Amino acid sequence: LDVYSLSIQVRSGKRIEVKDITEEVQAKLEELGIYDGVLFLFSLHTTSTLILNEGELGLMEDVERWVKEAFTRHDYQHDRIDRNAAAHIAASIIGNSLVIPVERGRLALGTWQRILHLELDGPRMRTLLVKVIGRRKEE
């Protein structure tokens, strides 16, 4: 087994935004040539999260709406210095990492599962760390 590290940049275009990054992650996996193993995806931020769900456009907009509706207050203590406390709280609950199995050189996702980056305080440039532990195909 070997361990590989790389990063992915995600640019968000609005304050709350769901973006499907599955193809980008799959492309990185193919660059590394890992055939069998585990991929760990980690956001290096406190207001950027990762979710695994359906990449249907309506549902992605529903997730954005749910976040906006659930986090409408701006009177938290942290808002006095940064005005984004709700984004930090949402990120704490949603989580900033995913572990995905790798089978036969592909992300072993279910039929409807997609890797979605959920921006909570954009627009910004975000860096995701990718760690892959696995092995290349035996020749």
- Closest approach, Cβ 100 to Zn ion, in A, equals 29
- Closest approach, Cβ 74 to Zn ion, in A, equals 12
Report the residue number whose CB is nearest to Zn ion.
82
Residue (of 42, 43, 54) closest to 12 by Cα position? 43
Dist. CA 139–CA 49, nearest whole Å = 38
- Positive/negative CA dihedral, 21, 27, 31, 37: positive
- Closest approach, Cβ 120 to Zn ion, in A, equals 10
- Closest approach, Cβ 103 to Zn ion, in A, equals 39
DSSP label at 76? S
Contact string (CB under 5 A) for Zn ion, positions 79-108, x = contact: ---x-x------------------------
Dist. CA 94–CA 90, nearest whole Å = 6
Identity of the residue, 37 or 122, whose beta carbon is nearer to Zn ion in the bound complex: 122
In the complex, the residues that contact Zn ion under the rule CB under 5 A are 82, 84
